[in-house]
Amino acid sequence: MVEVLILDVGWDVERIRLEFAPGVETEFVDRDRALAQVEEWAERGTWAPLVVFGPEGCGKTAFLRQAASGLRELGYDVFYLHPLDRAFSAEVDDPDVKALFLDLVRKTLEDGRWGRLAMAVFDLTREILRRRRRKVAVIADDVFQAIGLDKAAYVKGLLNMIEHPQYKYENMVVLVATSEGVSRREIGGHRWARLMPMWNMARNGFL
């Protein structure tokens, strides 16, 4: 099923700053409807992984980074993975889990075994839920280009995490971004996720 990002922004979200070139930064702008959708997801969680797709340069990464920041503001423990940019974070309340995540990141940067880090998110999510019931978000940006375009079944694992949790959670939000291509076609052939297109920002967003 393909949906479109809608609604008007409600909460006063802190806008992240994005670096487009060395020394050139800008604040995240426009996309108010998409940000309002993030607020809705935060309130009720997601019943399946949300796969955002669109052409290169349309703003998927900026949106996912802003979503990660916004979900943290709204009380979520957030795991963020973007292997192509070598960008990873675990904004979680448990220092032990955060230390485990950062140790895995260090090892992965050394040996390039991206699949290990991607799969570790399942264990780390279970661990923080074992300690306390809470709200958790997993955000994975273009992870398929790092672990393999044929590994789209990774989304099935994310769906299982939502539908069949080992420990109870308050809410869960799962966002995945992919460029149009093999991974999108593979995901779209199953009922593992909700596909959501993203287009280039409108002209007014640049003004």
**Domain residue spans in the chain?**
28-206
Report the pLDDT value the prediction gives residue 29, as an integer from 0 to 100: 47
CATH numeric code, 28-206: 3.40.50.300
Report the pLDDT value the prediction gives residue 121, as an integer from 0 to 100: 93
Residue 49: is its pLDDT beyond 50? yes
In degrees rounded to 5, what are phi and psi of residue 95?
-60, -30
Question: What mean pLDDT, rounded, does the chain reach?
Answer: 79
Q: 16-28 pLDDT, tens per residue?
A: 454 444 554 444 4
Report the pLDDT value the prediction gives residue 160, as an integer from 0 to 100: 93
Compute the average pLDDT of residues 81-92: 91
Q: 134-182 pLDDT, tens per residue?
A: 999 999 998 877 777 667 788 889 999 999 999 999 999 999 988 755 4
Report the pLDDT value the prediction gives residue 39, as an integer from 0 to 100: 87
